[in-house]
Structures are given as structure tokens and as C-alpha cells.
Amino acid sequence: MIDTLARWLGLDPSAYNDWHLVWLAPWGRVGMVVAGVVALATLYWSWRGYRREPRLGVRALLLGLRALAVGAALVLFFEPAIELRHVTRQPNHVAVLVDDSRSMAIADGGEAGGPTRLERARRLIAASAGTFARWRERHLVDFYTFSDGLTPTTEAALAAPGGISARADATQLREALTALRARHDGHDLGGVVVISDGIPTGKLEALTDGRFDPESSDFLRGLGVHVHTAWAGRDRLRDVAIARVLADDFAFVHTAVKLEVVVRASGIKEKTLPLTLRRDGAPVRTVEAAIDATSHEARVAFEFTPDAVGKYLYEVTTPVLPGEAIESNNTRAFVLKVIRDKIRVVQVAGRPSWDEKHLRALLKRDPNVDLVSFFILRTPTDLSRVPEDELSLIPFPTEELFAHELGGFDVLILQNFNYGPYGMGAYLQNIKDYVLGGGALVMLGGDVAFTSGGYPDTPVADVLPVELLDEGLPAERLVSEEPFRMQLTPDGERHPVTALRLDGAENRARWQGLPELVGVNLVAGPRAGATVLGTHPFLRARGGAPMPVLALGEFGKGRSMAFTTDTMWHWGFLAAGEGDDGRAYDKLWENAIRWLIRDPELRLLRVDTDKAEYALGETVRVDARLFGVDYRPARGQKVQLEVRRAGSGAAGAPGTPGGKGKASDVAPPLLARTADTDDEGEVHVDVPADAAGPYEIIARAKVGEVEQVEKEVYLVRAEGRELEQPNARKDVLTALADATGGIAMGGADELLAELPFLPPRVVRIDQRTDVELWSLQAVFWLALGALALEWTVRRWRGYL
């Protein structure tokens, strides 16, 4: 156009490369507006005057001639001129942004073995080489990838097979546009082309009626450039995703926990899907999720009751269906910290006694204990002189307690209790299962306890730390009434249950100063694997060893304690009467209950992380602390730490759904380190959180000859919600282009060459020539000729 215009004006076309239309009239904007109003008024009144002309052609000719004359007059009034220039321009930048988030690795479109979204983007870049060459004639073309950040790259890398990979767990499109705008000032940025699947996970994702919210729209307009879009996705995606798990960070042990799971599905025929909740790889519960036909979602509630204190890794999984686009989003993990609100204890006593009274009083005044106490005042065989319905005593709730409520307690105390008269034989297996599942059992002595209570050869006997005598022995051979002073064993001198003092010598002296006990149930000896803390000074078990009085055992996930006397209260009441403070009784029971419920503070080796969940790129701080048997920091001792991938996963692909066994069973440790403890008995290790997934820390150390092993879990979570809703969003890219005046090219195979961009900035004017159009003779003769011809026609038609 510059060449044609220059030749028409009789100038050298090669001397100019730019032109502008300018107005030389001195009237200013107000004068131009007034002239325009006068011109319109003239044409209006002319039109009204010519309405009397019956011939339409003549009427149009007269009005056209009047308009031509008015236009020529305006040209003379405005004094327009063409400014021809030769300028030097600074090329501005056109940025091509290619999405490299994880969702771009999805192969959609319904084609078996079809291309991924990232492959489509690569083909689009390769096919648009000619377009980029056209753009480079006036612009500098820059290439970037974006996901969790904006990264410069090259056209060659984008077009080459395998040149880039879908790597990040976020599509922060708005943040990428902000970073791009910050790189360029003023008109240095001429335009933007975004190639994506349209699944932003940052601050630019919500649409209402095809438009962004007002704040996002203002941001896009504030960019000041056109954003053109190309869609790398396709329809017909087949996928199931566990999108959200709505759960609290902590829960209370033995208290029901509710969590909600959101499942999203697309392209599947199945109407229901099984969801399984797992804890540390073991199934907890499975429910069926009904997929809504309209929203393609299901919301499923899980309810379960944690049975132990600690930090646990939970996962919600659903099986991978044939042909699913993404397998990794079929599982979602979270960490739940289970804490103890109160220690729930149920005390069942066969009859009132001083021992029962002191223990019940101790537990009732402890603010950390929630006590339910039953003691038998009347057995079914007792004679009564009044009708049953007039008695104020309640019947013993055997079925309710042992069939329904037992799992809600931390500790079950059977104190001088004979189960026989209460129809409990059918529930003894429940007590054994309760212990194996993580509960704690205490059996205390008396004339109807242990063998005297009928427990030999029952399921309860299997979870006692002592072997019982045969039930057929006479009563005098089952109980001894002689006073005695319990003797601590070597294990008892260093065990936390019998640690009345931290110092070993002081602890032995404290035990030796306690009052004597009177009476003991005879037992055959300790069960294999049990720990005997106290023995009788002169009674012997089978084999000739001192008979155990106080013994502990571990069975399955639970623990049990046996104390074969009913005069422990002497260590509180009688000791206080002899000038002692009576605290030995309280301290012993505090220690015992803490050991029975596996109080973390009693562990000699402890390992912890500073948080339960981490974002990618953060540092996991692992703290291990080792104590000696006296619970003082163990200095200069070696602690081994291993970090492994955790969760349910297949061999060779730890952490993926659908596998068998634990990933920690097959995967090598990600970190293995041995370090010496410092003066505080501590070891600190930093672990990089460089891959999303659940992890397990295993700590090992020796205290004396006993190896201590502790575990901890943590979770590295992807920052974005990249695969929660993997369906490609063409509407988001269309709205983005509309909001900025750009062009949405959809699933184009090649970028359009004629996309509108801001022109490059003029940095220097080398030559300029003004051609005054208003002073051309042609304009004058045009105005005069139009008026003359109009006058002639008017005269011909009889108008004045």
C-alpha cells in the first residue's frame, strides 16, 4: 500500500515504509465537532427538502451530489494530509507458551494408542514453522513452557520428539502470564499464543456462563495484548479420579471418624465403583460409589474408629479400569494423627474389696481417665427375700459390654472376677480378640481370680502373661494366704512400669521399703515371651524358678498384665500410715496404664517429623531421640535411619494403585544413614521432598542388648490439583481469547499466520514528507462540480 500511495503522489516508493493521516486545520477538536454537526444538519434538511421529488433516482442523485459537496467542503475545512515516513522500528516480542503440566501427558480422543496432548502440541509447533517465519519479519518470537512456573525454551526443543516432558503438578496460567508481562515493558510484548489443554489450577480456572469472574477479566484486560489460544486436548476421555478426600488432620482414638471422598468419572459405562480405605496398606473398609449421571461425580462417606494412638498413612483407592487415561489418580493418600482424649478404662470387680476401692478411687480422680466401673454385689446364686423387680441393683450387662462396647475401651481390668455365674463363656473369645486387636487386659488376684476364677483352657488364658494351674486342684493349692515382700527381677529394676524412681539404686531402695503384701494366687509360671517384673520370695513355679507375682506380655497388637495378689492397696494406704507418702501405689498404676496403652512417652527410641505433609521441594526434618533404660538421653549411641516409599503399590512401581503388598517391601531405601546421638540423645537428618507420595521412616537403635525399632510416616503432596479433573477444557481457552480480544483457534493443526499483534515500536524517523490533500486542485473542482451539477438538476426539476 505504501508503494501504491507513493506512486500515486508522484514520489519514490523505496524512500518510504510507513504512512499516517494527519489533520492540519487549527480548529481543534471542538471546531471539528461543530463542522461535523453542521454537515449532518445540512444533509438532513436536504433530505427533507427532496422528499417531494416523486422520482426516486432523481432524489438519490440530488442527495448524493449534496453529500459529495459537503464532503469536499469538510476536506477543505479539516485540511487533511498524508504523512509519508521512513522509520526504524524496534521489533517487539510474540510469546508462544506451551503447557507442560502432567495433564498434558494424557492420551485422549478415544483413539487406542493415540497421541498425547503434549504430542499434539509438539506437532502443532512443528507444523507452524512457516508461520513463525512470517511473524519474525516484524517480531521477535520467544518460546516458553509453563506449568508451576514460566521456563524459556526454543522452537527446536518444542518441535523435537521428546524435547519436553509433562512434568509438573500444576497449570498456573495466570501466574505465567504475570511473569511474562513482567519481562516486557510497554509495547515490547506484541502478543501471546497459549497452547494448552485448558485445565488451569491457579487463579484462573472458574467460569460462569463462559466468562471469567470480574477480577480475572480485569487482570486479562490489564495485560494490554491479545492472547490467542490453541487447544491441545480432545473429547472422549476415559478416566476415574479420586479428586478430594475431606478429612481432619487429627482424630481421637476409639472415637468414630468421618471423612468424605469425592470421585469424578468421565467416559465410563460403570454406574458404581468400589472404593477401599486402607491404613498402612491394610484394608479398613470398602464401599460402593454411585456415579451421578449428570455431574459425573460421587460423594462417599467413610466412617471408622481408630484403635491406637499414632500417626497413620491412609489411602483411598479404586481399581484401574481397562483403557483409563490416568492410573495415578485412582488413589489419594492422607496422614491422620490419632491422639488420645482420655484413657477409657472399664473395671469389672467380682466383689467389693479394699483393693477394688483403692483402685477405683485412684482412677476416678485422674482427670485423664474415663472410668466405667462394675462390681458385683449379688451373684445369680444368692438367695433373695424380695422380688427381683424390687431390687435397686442393675443386672450385669454382659452382652452389651463384651459383645458391643468392649472395643471402645483402652484397658479392661478383671479384678478378682469369676466369669462363670454371668454367662460370659461365649464372650471370652471377644476378650482375646480385643487384646490381639490392640486392647489392654489386666487381671488382678483374689479368691475367684486366675485358676480360681475358671480361666484355665479359655481364650482369656491365651492372652495372660502367666501359665495357669489346672482347674481340678483343691482350693488350698490355688491360693497362698502368707504375707510376703515382692522381689524385683533384673527386668523389673529397669522396666518403666516398676520405675518408681529414675535412679536404679533409689528405685531398689524404694521397693524394699514398701509394706508387705498378704495372699497370692498360685500360677504355674510365666508364659513364653512374657516379662516378669516381680516374683514371690519363697514360692516356686514349675521348674523351680521363683513364682511370678507381676508379669507383662504382648499379644498381637495388644498387651496384658497379671498381678496375682489383691493387696496392692497396702502400698498406698498402709504405706501412708507408716510415714510413707503413699505415692508408690499411684506411681505404679500410672506407669502400668501408660505401658498398657503404649504411651509414646515411654518409648526409648522416638522418631518424628516437623510436619505430617510437605509440598514438593520442601525439606523434611527428621528428628530421632534415644533414651537409656533410666530414660535419660543416650549420648554417643548409633541410630540407623531409613526412608522408604510407603503405601500400597506394585513391585517396581511403588506407590501406584492396584499393586500387591507394600512398596517398602520391594523398593530400596531412598535414604539410609547411621549417626551418633548428641548430648541430648538426638539425631537430625534433612530429607528433600523431591517426589510426591507417601513415605515411611524406620529408626533402629540398641539400648543395652535390646534393639529398638520405631516408624514414622509423612506425605509429600503435589502442590496443584492437576489430575483431579483431567478433562480438557476448550471453553477456558475460548474465554481467555475472548477476554483479551484474541482468536481461539480450537484444535487447529497449524497456527494462523495472520493473528493480530501489537505493531513494533518506532524508535527513529529517518525521513518524512507531508502531502496536503486539501490543497489538491481535484478537491476544489470536486466540490465545485458537485454543487454545479446539483444546481443544474434542481433547475431541470423546477426547484429554486
CATH number at residue 669: 2.60.40.1930
Per-residue pLDDT band at 42 (split at 50, 70, 90): confident
- Is residue 790 domain-shared with residue 734, that is, in the same domain? no
**Whole-number pLDDT of residue 390:** 43
Which amino acid makes up residue 279? Answer: R
For the stretch 396-419, pLDDT in tens is 677 788 888 888 899 999 999 988
Does 761 map to a domain?
Answer: no
**Whole-number pLDDT of residue 351:** 85
Does 722 map to a domain?
Answer: no
The secondary structure of 680-704 as a DSSP string is TSEEEEEEE--S-EEEEEEEEEEET
| 707 three-class SS | strand
* CB-based contact 737:229 (threshold 8 Å): yes
**Whole-number pLDDT of residue 685:** 93
Most confident residue range from 45-59, 579-593, 785-799:
579-593
**What phi and psi, each to the nearest 5 degrees, are found at residue 234?**
-145, 170
- Which residue(s) pair with 554 in the sheet? 559
* CB-based contact 146:176 (threshold 8 Å): yes
Q: What are the grid coordinates assigned to 314, written together?
A: 491412609
How confident is the model over 89-102, as a mean pLDDT? 88
130 vs 3, more confident? 130
* CB-based contact 434:406 (threshold 8 Å): yes
Q: How many domains does the chain have?
A: 5
Range in 13-22, 328-337, 377-386, 561-570 with the lowest mean pLDDT? 377-386
Does 564 map to a domain?
Answer: yes
Does 746 map to a domain?
Answer: no
Does 752 map to a domain?
Answer: no
- Is residue 46 domain-shared with residue 178, that is, in the same domain? no
- Is residue 404 domain-shared with residue 280, that is, in the same domain? no
**Whole-number pLDDT of residue 391:** 42
- Is residue 140 domain-shared with residue 211, that is, in the same domain? yes
- Is residue 542 domain-shared with residue 471, that is, in the same domain? yes
- Is residue 586 domain-shared with residue 637, that is, in the same domain? no
Per-residue pLDDT band at 225 (split at 50, 70, 90): very high
- Is residue 173 domain-shared with residue 306, that is, in the same domain? no
Does 42 map to a domain?
Answer: yes
Q: What are the grid coordinates assigned to 487, written together?
A: 522381689
* Long-range contacts from 107-113, C-beta under 8 angstroms, 24+ separation: 107/325, 108/233, 108/234, 108/235, 108/236, 108/237, 108/325, 108/728, 109/234, 109/235, 109/236, 110/234, 110/235, 110/236, 110/238, 110/267, 112/323
Scored b (16 or more CB within 10 A) or e, 554-584 reads ebeebbbbbbbbbbbbbbbebbeeeebebeb
How confident is the model over 131-140, as a mean pLDDT? 92
- Is residue 302 domain-shared with residue 360, that is, in the same domain? no
**Whole-number pLDDT of residue 31:** 80
Q: Is 50 exceeded by the pLDDT of residue 392?
A: no
Instruction: Kindly report the CATH number assigned to the domain that includes residue 246.
Output: 2.60.40.10
Instruction: Kindly report the CATH number assigned to the domain that includes residue 397.
Output: 3.40.50.880
For the stretch 654-691, pLDDT in tens is 333 233 334 344 567 888 999 999 999 999 999 999 88
Domain that holds residue 160: 92-236+727-740
Domain limit, last residue, from 339, 368, 389: 339
The C-alpha atoms of residue 768 and residue 85 are separated, in whole angstroms, by 4
For the stretch 283-297, pLDDT in tens is 999 999 999 888 888
For the stretch 431-459, pLDDT in tens is 999 999 889 999 999 999 999 999 999 99
Does 760 map to a domain?
Answer: no
**Whole-number pLDDT of residue 538:** 93
Q: Is 60 exceeded by the pLDDT of residue 379?
A: no
Q: Cβ neighbours of residue 473 under 8 Å, at least 6 residues apart? A: 451
Q: Is 50 exceeded by the pLDDT of residue 204?
A: yes
Q: Is 90 exceeded by the pLDDT of residue 4?
A: no
Q: Is 50 exceeded by the pLDDT of residue 383?
A: no
Which amino acid makes up residue 637? Answer: Q
**Whole-number pLDDT of residue 664:** 41
- Which residue(s) pair with 686 in the sheet? 621
- Is residue 243 domain-shared with residue 176, that is, in the same domain? no
Range in 376-390, 477-491, 595-609 with the lowest mean pLDDT? 376-390
How confident is the model over 79-85, as a mean pLDDT? 74
| 343 three-class SS | strand
Average pLDDT taken over every residue of the chain = 84
The C-alpha atoms of residue 641 and residue 708 are separated, in whole angstroms, by 12
- Is residue 68 domain-shared with residue 134, that is, in the same domain? no
The C-alpha atoms of residue 386 and residue 393 are separated, in whole angstroms, by 12
Domain limit, last residue, from 293, 315, 339: 339
For the stretch 743-782, pLDDT in tens is 999 999 999 999 999 887 655 566 666 666 666 667 677 7
Cα of first residue to Cα of last residue in the chain, in angstroms, is 45
DSSP-assigned letter for residue 368? T
The C-alpha atoms of residue 277 and residue 283 are separated, in whole angstroms, by 6
- Is residue 407 domain-shared with residue 333, that is, in the same domain? no
Instruction: Kindly report the CATH number assigned to the domain that includes residue 160.
Output: 3.40.50.410
622 vs 774, more confident? 622
The C-alpha atoms of residue 77 and residue 32 are separated, in whole angstroms, by 9
Q: What are the grid coordinates assigned to 592, written together?
A: 502400668
* CB-based contact 774:26 (threshold 8 Å): no
For the chain, percent of residues with pLDDT exceeding 90: 43
Domain limit, last residue, from 317, 339, 361: 339
Does 757 map to a domain?
Answer: no
- Is residue 538 domain-shared with residue 630, that is, in the same domain? no
The C-alpha atoms of residue 515 and residue 485 are separated, in whole angstroms, by 7
